[in-house]
Amino acid sequence: MTNSPFTPGIAPGRLRPEDYAANFDDLHAPLDAHEALVAADRCYFCHDAPCMTACPTSIDIPLFIRQISTGTPEAAAKTILEQNILGGMCARVCPTETLCEEVCVREEAEGKPVEIGRLQRYATDTLMTQGVHPFARADATGKRIAVVGAGPAGLSCAHRLAMKGHDVDLFDARPKGGGLNEYGIAAYKTVNGFAGAEVDWLMQIGGITLHTGKALGADLSLDALKAGYEAVFLGMGLAGVNALRAEGEDKDGVSDAVDFIATLRQAGDVSSLPVGRNVVVIGGGMTAVDAAVQSRLLGAENVTILYRRSRDDMPASRFEQDLAASKGVRLVFNARPVRVTGNGAAQALEAEYTVSGPDGLKGTGETFTIPADQVLKAIGQTLQGAPDGVSIEGGKIAVTGAGRTSVAGVWAGGDCAGGGDDLTVTAVAEGRDAAEDIHTSLTGG
Answer yes or no: are the C-beta atoms of 337 and 112 closer than 8 Å: no
pTM as predicted: 0.94
For 92, residues 6+ apart whose C-beta sits below 8 A from its C-beta are 28, 117, 121, 189, 190, 194
- The whole-chain average pLDDT of the chain stands at 95
pLDDT for res 9: 83
Q: State CA 353 to chain mean position distance.
A: 30
For residue 229, pLDDT over 70 is answered with yes
The secondary structure of residue 282, as a DSSP letter, is E
pLDDT for res 325: 98
pLDDT band of 6, cuts 50, 70, 90: very low
- 275-284 pLDDT, tens digit per residue, is 999 999 999 9
β-pair type (381-382, 240-241) = antiparallel
pLDDT band of 419, cuts 50, 70, 90: confident
- 77-105 pLDDT, tens digit per residue, is 999 999 999 999 999 999 999 999 999 99
For 60, residues 6+ apart whose C-beta sits below 8 A from its C-beta are 49, 52, 79, 83
Q: Residue 405: what residue type?
A: T
Mean pLDDT on 48-73: 96
Distance CA 390, CA 185 (A): 29
All domains in the chain, ordered by first residue? 33-129 (1.10.1060.10), 144-239+383-443 (3.50.50.60), 241-377 (3.50.50.60)
- 372-417 pLDDT, tens digit per residue, is 999 999 998 899 878 888 999 999 999 999 999 999 999 999 999 9
- 341-356 pLDDT, tens digit per residue, is 999 999 999 999 999 9
Quick count: other Cβ atoms within 10 Å of Cβ 432? Answer: 25
Mean pLDDT on 165-193: 96
pLDDT for res 392: 95
- 238-256 pLDDT, tens digit per residue, is 988 888 989 999 999 999 9
Mean pLDDT on 205-226: 96
- 309-329 pLDDT, tens digit per residue, is 999 999 999 999 999 999 999
Distance CA 383, CA 405 (A): 15
Answer yes or no: are the C-beta atoms of 179 and 152 closer than 8 Å: yes
